[in-house]
Structure formats: structure tokens, C-alpha cells
Amino acid sequence: MRILVSGGLGFIGSHTVVELLNHNHDVVIIDNLYNSQISTLHKIERIAGKRPAFYEMDATSFEALEDVFQRYDFDGIIHFAGYKAVGESVRKPLEYYYNNLVSTINLAKLAIINKVPKFIFSSSATVYGDGVSPFNEKMKLLDRTNPYGETKAMSERILIDTVKANLGFNVVLLRYFNPIGAHPSGLIGEVPNGIPNNLMPYVTQVAKGLREKLNVFGNDYDTVDGTGVRDYIHVVDLAQGHVAALEAKIEGVEAINLGTGKGTSVLEIIQAFEKANGIKIPYEIIARRAGDIAVSYADTTKAKNLLKWEAKLNIMDMVRDAWNFEKNLE
């Protein structure tokens, strides 16, 4: 199949492109390089032995996207392009609503016009709001605790309604939890611009000496050690989940969790990193971060049944691969 991947040079997008190429799919990437690097394109080619087509553009530009759709006939779209930091979304809600919703609307509209039958959407566990874990896909979605999560829930709603109105347009809403780790080659991984918003790149930057210490947001949650608990999933497992969703015979729309089904606290992640890599991570407990919830982990039953997919890599694999990438990063 020929697949359009928006945001294909980002953290999750680049790993998914590698897996798509490994499964002999043709890939066309669009990316505006807002939170990614052009060097990732060359690294993808080194890993997979194939070079995907690439266009630098913003998915909020309908005209730019339209030009790509005129060049190629696509069998599927995987939509990653979007702003993704919870804390930043609280500070910049308008930017998040505009970028994340307009990009989804543009790609869905062009998929309908060009009769692209498969659309895989990069959603998030944040759509569940401040509910009770384990989260499963039948649960009523509660109010989101931040604009980022709201953009994902609204994008889901847009795509669900679009499916209802357009026979033959099939959508998988992949609600994934907390991707960490890196490709085992050490060539691609998470490279945030500026101060990391996610836990693992902050940990690896502290380990490398780029930052003095890790800030842990709150230790008074009702969890095993007071710190937030998340369902961390290896980015390679996650990428393979996207390929499974693309290749599955799904009609209409399905929401599917991608996670491990297990929760790990922030302090447990730090301890695992120290054990796997032999490096001490200094940290400081500070106030809770706006928009965070105490516990979030997945019910993964549906992914196993519908996609025949489940995560295979564990926390030690994740922290080892994340450090392997960071220590080789120039």
C-alpha cells in the first residue's frame, strides 16, 4: 500500500515509517519540522534501506496538501501531525485547537475527495479525562483536563461523524498511552525542541549532564509512591501497532487502546533507568503540573482481539534504548 504519513519525521511518526517500510509499504511523509529534524529522513533510510518521499509542509494548509494528493494515489493515511505537550496546551490553547483540529479536518476532507479508504488517527489516552484506570474503549469519555486532550477528543468526534456520512471511509482511532524508548539502532528517538515536556527525554538529558536534575511533578498522588503512574509503551511496539491497524480489516470506525496494560510510577521509571544503565538520576519533587491525573493505564483487550497485536518490550528495554539513543546523539 502507499501510505501518507503526516508528522512522519517526529518521534512516533519516524518509528512508524520504519515499520511501514519494513512491511514493504510505500511511504510519503509530510512534516513542517516544527518538532522534528530533516536529519531523521536520512536515518530512516539507513535503518530501513529505503528512502520515503518527503514534502516539507504544514497540514493546516489545504492547498499544500491538495498538491500532494494530486501527485499520488494513497491507500491509507496515518495522521500524527499535531502539537502534543499537555502543559504547553494549557498555556497556548488557541494554537493547539487551530493546529490539531484544522490538520485533521484537512486530511479527512482530502481523504474523502480522493477516496482514500483507510485513516489511522494518532489519538491519546488523555481523551478519557480524569477517569478510573484501566481505561477501556467502551467507557464514556469524561471532561478532559487539558486543551491537548480536548483536541484529540474533538478530532475523534470529527472523524466519527465523517465516517457516518461517508460509506467506504474507515477510521481507526489509536488511543495510545506513554511512548518512550527509541529504535534499537540508536539512530532515531525522541529529540524535543528546548526543554523536554515528556519524562524520558528529560531523564536522558539529566543522565547526559545536559540538565542538573529532573523535576518530578508531585509526590502526593494516591499511588504506590505518591508520583504519577502511567502506562509506558516502547515506541517500536507502538509503531508496530499502527501497521497492525493499517493492515487489519476494519470497516467504519474503531477506537483502540495501544498500551501495555501496566502502570509504572515516575520514581519506578527513574529506578529502572538507574539499574539498566548504571547512572544516578538526581531529582527534585516540585508542585503538581496543571492538567495531570494520578493514574493512567490501558485495557488492551481490544487491540489483542481486533489487531492481533500486543506490546512485547518491557520497561528495562525502554530505558535502555532511550539512553542508547541519547548518549549517541550529537
* Residues forming the active site: 148
CB atoms within 10 A of CB 15: 28
Close Cβ partners of 308 (under 8 Å, ≥ 6 residues apart): 244, 248
CA distance 183 to 307: 22
Beta bridge partners of 21: none
Residues shown for the chain: 330
CA distance 143 to 150: 8
DSSP string across 203-266: HHHHHTTSSS-EEEE-S-SSSSSSS-EE-EEEHHHHHHHHHHHHHS---SEEEEEES-S--EEH
Going by DSSP bridges, is the β-strand pair 264-265/232-234 parallel, antiparallel, or unpaired? unpaired
| CA 268 to chain centroid | 22
Side chain identity at residue 295, one-letter code:
V
DSSP string across 88-108: HHHH-HHHHHHHHHHHHHHHH
Nearest to 25 by CA among 55, 5, 42: 5
